Amino acid sequence: MNALAEFTGNLAHYLKAPDIERIEEAYQFSGKAHEGQYRDSGEPYISHPLAVAGILADWHLDPQALMAALLHDVMEDTKVSKAEISKRFGKPVAELVDGLSKLGKIEFQSQQDAQAENFRKMLLAMARDVRVILIKLADRLHNMRTLDAVPPAKRRRVSRETLEIYAPIANRLGLNSLYQEMQELAFSHLHPLRYRVLAKATKAARGNRRQVVGKILDAIKKRLPETGIKAEVTGREKHLYSIYKKMLEKNLSFSQVLDIYGFRVVVEDTASCYLALGALHSLYKPVPGKFKDYIAIPKVNGYQALHTTLIGPFGTPVEIQIRTRDMHRVAEAGVASHWLYKTSDANLNELQHKTHSWLQSLLDIQNESGDAAEFLEHIKVDLFPDEVYVFTPKGKIMALPRGATAVDFAYAVHTQVGNRCVATKINYEPVPLRTELKNGDRVEIITAPHANPNPGWLNYVKTGKARSHIRHFLKTMHYEESVELGERLLNQALRALNTDLSEIGKELWEKLLRDITAKSREELFADIGLGKRFAAVVARRLLAASEQPLTEGNAGPIVIRGSEGMVVQFAKCCRPIPGDPIIGSIKKGQGIVIHTHDCPTAAKSRTDPDKWLDVEWAPEPARQFDVGVHVTVLNERGVLAKVAGAIAADGANIDGINMDEDRSPYTNMHFTLQVTDRQHLARIKRGLRRIPEVIRISRVRD
């Protein structure tokens, strides 16, 4: 009971007696529920919820959160239900506990699926109430502190999970002390030998450099009062994990990492931060490019300070952080400082607003993500710690992950801006959409009403929001196109059996959907369009249920317009264009692939007739098609301009060009042209033959 007495003693500093009584009641209830359960260390299980609640009490969290912390495992590990907790301790406490409970009653394909779904549930509960994640982080911190008792394999798995998910979330919420302790503990369990070697090297270096550090500390403490600045100055050793990361990222040995010491200067107000910076720059020379002003432009998690690196005695780099007391408080406790210090501080309000915006973005990503693993992938991307700060045309500052592009910026402004963006200007200059943004860039997005996301964007976007919105749009578009194509394929198969979709009654549809376990006609059409089901088989099952005799008819070919989208693809092996005789192959998950009749690749796989369809071009195709053309020319000045001019004169677009590096009298030019049909291509070839320098022209199939 000593641990309980110590815990309630801490509560007495900021809670009233009736609240403490309710928390004690939750402790008794949890103790009874977990009776007979023990941790891997051999301690009674109740010691864990009590330790978690103790961490939260240090942050001065409210009674509901403390009760939820004490009860956080009862739904998962005992027979206590959510309804029982709600009745006894109130609905808010029950909701918090439910948000923290794993999805133990659902069958998952794999451990990874289960983990991803648990994270999704927890993060969505956190988006509704940030206390969920604060309790979860305290829970994880205590588990990390007691990880020695668990088997090595589990120790590594939990440590990796902590480094990948929980530590970045703590950082994103501004919980700096928690973030650093989690990293240190995870590092010590994930790489115990490296941790011990580094700890030993740091201890030895501490002795060697003590005199230098003492000299720098004394010089700073002397200089600041001389310039009239009242400040607290402390020296601090860098954490082992941050030293290890620096060694890995910059490929350095320990002896090359000189800045293992840093100094923190805490002053009275913001103006004093800049005065202190000036005083220190006059004491030691600053390293160019190593100054960061996080006061004027705070980090996304609300962190504010001035960072500078100076060259100290004997050429030692010295990192210095300068901040006010309020900034220091937010830097250490982040979003938890809202509970720790009830205040109307404008900076804290800004921090709460940023946190709320981020949590809201989680809900947006959840709505767009298909499954839990994809959701978790997007969240991991968004927890990327480094930021770049850019400006909108109206001067608003936006923070994005390092490596973010103009497309990420467009989606950060608004989903519709992202979906409709066609071009961008950075610092008033037109640049490609894939351009990476740099600190201080002014970014302007140009949109068009009928523009859509490009699948190629997924190769370079960095933010979870952009990635999830692009994927969602493409999936929706793909699905709609698949439904339309599937309906056409099924109608064709039914016409081959002398009937039509319009003649199929509601009862037949319902029976078929029940038999094949499809949710709706739309889903069935989409499966046919994507090649997951064969239209001929579905048509026969539909008619078999009607008990009418099957008679063969003339189905007629599927008409290809060119506007079907991603579910109709044109084979790269033969590059068909309107006017070429064509045949369609059904590929599972991809839809129809169009080949020319004489394509050698298609000929190899035409053994299964069910997978091939009769197709024909629409009288007026809806777009232009790529075709390869080789042109052999005399190697003379200006010949490329003549050839390109002739192609343009016949209304074709040059999509790509390369030339053989040949110094002989002849040169081969390889064009990718966009044409409407074979007649268009023939006109282009006739135009090229009129050029005296053109020796030979041929269409390239592959």
Three-state SS at 462: coil
The CA distance from 161 to 166, in Å, is 7
Contacts of 597 (CB under 8 A, 6+ apart): 580, 581, 582, 583
Separation between Cα atoms, residue 118 and residue 104, nearest integer Å: 9
Q: At what angle do helices 47-58 and 63-70 cross, to 10 degrees?
A: 160
Section 196-213 average pLDDT:
78
Mean pLDDT of 133-159: 90
Task: Place 105 in a pLDDT band, splitting at 50, 70 and 90.
Answer: very low
Q: Which residue has the higher pLDDT, 462 or 545?
A: 462
**580 has catalytic annotation:** no
The residue type of 300 is V
Mean pLDDT within 364-386: 59
H or E element that contains 578: none
- 77 catalytically annotated: yes
Q: Identify the helix (H) or strand (E) that includes residue 308.
A: strand 306-311
Task: Give the pLDDT of residue 110.
Answer: 54
Nearest to 599 by CA among 617, 621, 618, 581: 581
**Position 612, amino acid:** W
Tell me the chain's radius of gyration from C-alpha atoms: 33
State the Cα torsion 149-152-153-157 to the nearest 10°. Answer: 70
464-498 pLDDT, tens digit per residue, is: 888 888 888 877 777 777 788 788 888 877 877 77
| Confidence grade of residue 108 (pLDDT, cut at 50, 70, 90) | very low
Average pLDDT for the chain: 82
**Residue 183: predicted pLDDT:** 94
Please list, in sequence order, all residues whose beta carbon lies within 8 angstroms of the beta carbon of residue 163, skipping any fewer than 6 positions away: 182, 183, 186, 187, 190
pLDDT value at 248 more than 80? yes
Q: Per DSSP, which regions of 462-611 are E strands?
A: 558-560, 568-570, 582-587, 591-596
Identical fold between 2-190 and 193-342: no
Check: CB of residue 33 under 8 Å from CB of residue 81: no
Higher pLDDT, 479 or 556: 479
Distances from the Cα of 84 to the Cαs of 79, 94, 407, in angstroms? 10, 8, 49
Please provide the size of the chain in residues.
702
Select the CATH number that applies to the domain covering 625-700 from these four: 3.40.50.970, 3.30.300.30, 3.40.50.720, 3.30.70.260: 3.30.70.260
Q: Which amino acid is located at 613 in the chain?
A: L
Q: Does the structure show a pLDDT above 80 at 120? A: no
Contacts of 604 (CB under 8 A, 6+ apart): none
d(CA 463, CA 399): 11
Cα distance between residue 266 and residue 231, in whole Å: 5
Percent of the chain surpassing pLDDT 90: 24
Both tokens of residue 624? 């232009």
CATH 3.30.460.10 fits 193-342, yes or no: yes
pLDDT digits (tens, 9 = 90+) for 323-342: 999 888 888 777 666 555 55
Token couple for 682: 């023939």
**Could you tell me which residues are beta bridge partners of residue 594?**
570, 584
Cα of 160 vs its chain's centroid, Å: 18
N- to C-terminal Cα separation, the chain = 80
Of 401 and 380, the structure prediction assigns the larger pLDDT to: 401
Q: What is the mean pLDDT of residues 70-83?
A: 86
369 in Cβ contact with 468 (< 8 Å): yes
Identify the pLDDT of residue 106: 43
Q: And the tokens for 158?
A: 């939990």
> Please, are residues 680 and 698 in contact by the beta-carbon 8 Å criterion?
no
CA 441, CA 408: separation in Å to the nearest integer? Answer: 14
Looking at this protein, which amino acid is placed at residue 113? D
Residue 515 banded pLDDT, cuts 50, 70, 90: confident
Which of the four CATH numbers 3.90.1150.10, 3.40.50.300, 1.10.3210.10, 3.40.250.10 does domain 2-190 have?
1.10.3210.10
**What does the pLDDT look like over 12-67, one tens digit per residue?**
888 888 899 999 999 999 989 888 888 888 889 999 999 999 999 888 888 999 99
Cβ–Cβ contacts within 10 Å for residue 286, how many? 16
* Crossing angle for the helix pair 346-368 and 325-333, to the nearest 10 degrees: 30
Say how many C-beta atoms besides its own lie within 10 A of residue 455's C-beta: 14
How far is Cα 131 from Cα 96, in angstroms, rounded to an integer? Answer: 8
What is the C-alpha separation between 69 and 410, in angstroms, rounded? 40
Could you tell me which residue, 702 or 313, shows the higher pLDDT?
A: 313
What is the CB neighbour count within 10 angstroms for residue 364?
Answer: 17
Provide the residue ranges of all domains of the chain, joining segments of one domain with +.
2-190, 193-342, 472-617, 625-700
Q: Is the pLDDT of residue 393 over 80?
A: yes
* Token output for 475: 């999936």
Cα-based angle 153, 159, 164 (whole degrees, multiple of 5): 130
Per-residue pLDDT reduced to its tens digit, 643-663: 999 998 888 888 888 888 666
Instruction: Map residue 228 onto helix, strand or coil.
Output: coil
Question: Which one is catalytic: 19, 62, 76, 523?
Answer: 76
Encode pLDDT of 595-625 as tens digits. 998 888 888 777 666 678 788 888 887 778 8
HEC profile of 398-433: EEEECCCEHHHHHHHHCHHHHHHEEEEEECCEEECC
- Mean pLDDT on 331-359: 61
**Active-site residue identified among 25, 77, 387, 523:** 77
